[in-house]
Copies of this chain bind each other. A is one copy, B any other.
């Protein structure tokens, strides 16, 4: 990135507007690195300023008249962007749900995978694995079930794989490992949690050619049009960073960083477990999902904040299914993680 930034001041290195879809080399590198053997072509990959931004642009493609389903709990951007598009109907305070959204409850009681036989058909299914906030990851069998469900219903899956690099178990890292996914799934990814690029802003979204609207029109063409009209390409400097990440040295560095955060996760899991709490996630994600049975998430959040000066995330912020949980994040310096665990021991031992 430093070299690319410097290059912009030279005649040879300057570049102006790039392709809205991202630099060709970047799209090719993404296809080869993350989608090898999955038949994803570079022109099906759109480079962007992040997965969150792409979710909003996908909502622009879908428009206000679609029905949506989300995992409950889930990353709030799916619901929030859906509210903005006018898809959701009124908010029902009694159940803490929007009336027109299907909430697919994912808890330890169902292995964090929804009982699809009880989920009504929707046009769009947002699905995040490894999951934020629960840290759970869907197995191959579960994803096969999800793809079959979308295929039968003519639904589009928006598969958020922002944490795929944290997968330890032998679960798919991409929805496209599942046969038939090219016909039903969009996948979005990000360098934020792969390379600490949260401030640099770089992500991507895959829209396969075979994914069609019910009238036979390719979704990819519409997404391409939105990318060209509502976006102007990711920063050329950020793309240089992405290319470096996908080099052999870059991949090594990313995996090293991920291993470090996974050690943090293990420390957090050990701490909460030894204090008698039930934890979930952690193995395939940088997040630990900690149960406080019968308690209000915000109360627990407040207790830990006020008594130990540690910030966690209250589970109910991710949907009604998150009530009674907090999310602990592994993204921190080792000494801070250790300090936090020592304070948690003082608080709960």
Contacts and interface: CB of A to CB of B under 8 A. Distances in A.
Interface residues of A, number: 43
A306 interface: no
A59 to B, nearest CB: 8
Interface in A26-67: 49-50, 52-53, 56-57, 60, 63-64
Contacts of A18: 199
A283 to B, nearest CB: 24
Contact of A229 (B15, B60, B77, B234): B77
B2 A5 contact: yes
A51 B50 CA distance: 18
Contacts of A151: none
A237 B236 contact: no
A253 to B, nearest CB: 10
B84 A53 contact: no
A231 interface: yes
Nearest to A52: B232
Contacts of A238: 235, 237
Interface of A: 1-2, 4-6, 8, 14-18, 49-50, 52-53, 56-57, 60, 63-64, 77, 80-81, 84, 86, 196, 198-201, 225-226, 229-238, 241
26 contacts: A1-B5, A1-B8, A2-B2, A2-B6, A8-B196, A8-B199, A8-B200, A15-B199, A16-B196, A16-B198, A16-B199, A18-B199, A49-B232, A52-B232, A53-B230, A53-B232, A56-B60, A56-B229, A56-B230, A77-B229, A81-B229, A84-B225, A84-B226, A84-B230, A235-B237, A235-B238
